[in-house]
Amino acid sequence: MAKCYKTKNFDAALKVFASVQRANWSAGNFLYTTALLAAHGSGKREQVPEILERMLKAAKPYASRAFQVALSAAIKSRQHGLVLDLMECSKTLDVKLTSEHDHFVLRSYAAVGDVDAALGTRDALQQKGFELTDDGVHWIVHCACRTDHWDLVEGLLTPSVASADQEEGAVSEATREIAFNTAIAAYGNKERWAKVVDVYDMMPESLRSELKGWHLGAVVMAHARAESKEVKLRALEIFHEHKHEAGELTYGGAITALLETEQFDEALALAEDMEQKDIAWGENVYQAITLALFRRGTTEDAVQLLEETVRSMGIEPNGYLNIIRFYTDRHAHLGVVQPAPTVSAPCKPN
């Protein structure tokens, strides 16, 4: 049955399920959820209520938990329509709904970008006396970022993320950290660097100091990619504040900022620092160091590094040409260019 579903042979999957039912064999949640997905995927939505009813009866006294399993399967398969159908069925099947079910629905609305419906589900939860879980906060913020509702993003990133009558404490702080990290990831993954900077500007100092990993790297890179030189230099300040835990993306952002502010020797030195700490160069670092070598006038070293990059990482050289041309035109200098220290790429990036 699973094989039929995976190959999108939904009718065959439903036939297998029907055979199991006729034979009166015991069917677990997996078979029922697969049947639900197949029925909805094949356009036979009229079969969903019957399959769900059988599933809930088989699961007694844990029908509420089984209904969560059905919702989860629909969400993981990105079948938002099935989520709505299941919720409609719950009314006639007298399913005891909990806040967990509502959070599944919120997640599904958020995943398809229906911010109004997601907010409506959140409001309904709060009217019942429930607060959003950390997962719920994540999905609301992600949806707001994805749909460009900046006013909503600002509201979600304020202290009001926590309950108004809840004392400020570890839970509230942790929830706010999740909200900010979600916004940084949502904008950073789309390379909307200006928005990442805006989110960082809203962060309280207590959360800025906790930045680490990918989120820290995205913040540094976002500042490095800004138009303003002042903001680019701020990337270096953030980098040095967190240098003890900086990874490849964070180093890459700092090197990019140095390149953008024409501090070529410093960029090369930072690349050497990465090698000494056994931090593998990523594509951003290779490109930035190649450009730094070009700008410092050490063309032979730049070409050699470019060749090593193509050979060891499989990066197409065409990806560099427009960038090199852009930087050469943008930062053209008159006069004699000073020699730069030679930087060789690691033999094999990890």
Band the pLDDT of 313: cuts 50, 70, 90. low
Sign of the four-CA dihedral 51, 52, 53, 58? positive
150 is a domain residue:
no
Query: Cα–Cα distances in Å, from 95 out to 70, 72, 75, 232, 258?
Result: 12, 16, 19, 55, 60
Residue 225: CATH number of its domain: 1.25.40
Query: CA-to-CA distance for 142 and 153, rounded, in angstroms?
Result: 9
Model confidence at 56, pLDDT cuts 50, 70, 90, reads: very high
For CA atoms 147, 150, 151, 155, the dihedral sign is positive
Whether the per-residue pLDDT at 281 is higher than 90: the answer is no
Number of CB atoms found within 10 A of residue 172's CB: 15
Q: Tell me which residue has tokens 């069925």.
A: 89
Determine, yes or no, domain membership for 137: no
Q: Give per-residue pLDDT as tens, 88-115.
A: 999 999 888 999 999 999 999 999 999 9
pLDDT beyond 80 at 200: yes
Contact between 157 and 199 under an 8 Å Cβ cutoff? The reply is yes
Question: Which amino acid appears at position 62 of this protein?
Answer: Y
Task: Identify whether residues 87 and 218 lie together within a single domain.
Answer: no
- Read off the pLDDT of residues 318-348 as tens digits, 9 standing for 90 and up: 555 655 565 555 555 434 344 444 444 444 3
Question: Are 89 and 217 members of one domain?
Answer: no
Which amino acid is located at 331 in the chain? Answer: H
**CA-CA-CA-CA torsion sign (171, 177, 181, 182):** positive
Residue among 195, 107, 75 nearest 145 (CA) = 195
pLDDT of 168 over the 50 cut: no
The more confidently predicted of residues 164 and 143 is: 143
The boundaries of the domain holding residue 289 are 211-350
pTM: 0.80
The one-letter amino acid code at 333 reads H
DSSP state letters, 282-344: -HHHHHHHHHHHHHTT-HHHHHHHHHHHHHHH---THHHHHHHHHHHHHT---SPPPP-----
**What's the mean pLDDT in 209-222?**
96
Q: How many domains does the chain have?
A: 2
User: What CATH number is given to the structural domain containing 40?
Assistant: 1.25.40.10
